[in-house]
Amino acid sequence: MDIGFIGLGNMGAHMARRLLEAGHRVVVYDTRQEAIGDLAARGAIAARSPAEVADAAETVMASLPTPDVVLKVATGPDGVIEGKRVRRFVDLSTTGAMMAQRIFKLLSARGVVQIDSPVSGGVRGAEKGTLAVMVSGPLAEIAAIEPALAVIGKIFILGERPGAGQTMKLVNNVLSATAMTATAEAMVTGMKAGLDPRLMLDVINAGTGRNTATEDKFAKAVLPGTFDLGFTAGLMMKDVNLFLAEREALGVPTDVIDAVARLLKLTCDEVGPDADISAVVQPVEKRAGVKVRAP
């Protein structure tokens, strides 16, 4: 299958590589020439713009950082919408349902189908092809690209409504953010009380408090102080804010997630939006006067 791929960052580069290794002809574009070069060295075809990608492939995938960037790449000048060959735009990014619906309408006016396909599983999942792929859109169009999506992860079809995949992704990500922020506060509290951090994780993971942060993220990135999970606090803040906008439109109370958003904002303000999401523990440590570290 001829596939265009736009956005070769931490996640996108691995997904594009897996498509190449599966035997697909992949046309790539990124704003960074070195990212294009890395994939071209593996056999990808380099393009000079999103429109040029969409001239070369019926299916164009995108893995991009923010909703505004997705909108520009999909529908802006020299964007996918101007491509001569493109039939479907597969958005692997996290944009929220409202932006997905907006892009769907703009593209459909030009005969291009948008398929929402946000992914979860982090850089490791992208590298190994074990992502959760949350898909919504016309079922016949989804069926046409299922073999390609199966290369990057496990497919979950959420229906035909534009934005359904995006809503599912936001539900997932706010739970991930909640696990990370709650674990940060709990671990700092235990540390200040004199508990050993590795023993705390062992006990939690043998009991009912275990979650994705205790099972993997804290031991990998917080205890050794590397803070290198590969997803920034700023991007998680973006996802949580998208969720809060959607729940407001739906009229759902979310007091717990409001508190998660406050700690994420504090992290972005004090440590920086480009800091790793695991750095969410640092503002809590600062105020408590202890650090959750173990050699």
Active site residues: 169
Crossing angle for the helix pair 197-206 and 164-192, to the nearest 10 degrees: 130
Other C-beta atoms lying within 10 Å of the C-beta of residue 188: 23
> How far is it, in rounded angstroms, from Cα 250 to Cα 260?
19
* Residues in CB range of 63: below 8 A, 6 or more apart: 5, 6, 7, 8, 9, 11, 12, 15, 92, 93, 119
Instruction: Return the structure tokens found at 112.
Output: 């291009």
Cβ-Cβ contacts under 8 Å for 146 (sequence gap 6 or more): 155
Q: Could you tell me if 131 and 125 are in contact, meaning their C-beta atoms sit under 8 angstroms apart?
A: yes
Report the sign of the C-alpha dihedral through residues 254, 65, 85, 82, in that order: positive
The single-letter DSSP state of residue 277 is: G
The whole-angstrom separation of Cα 216 and Cα 83 is: 42
Classify the phi-psi angles of 251: left when phi > 0, otherwise alpha if psi is within -120 to 50, otherwise beta.
Answer: left
Phi-psi region of 130 (alpha: psi -120 to 50; beta: other; left: phi over 0): alpha
DSSP string, 165-185: HHHHHHHHHHHHHHHHHHHHH
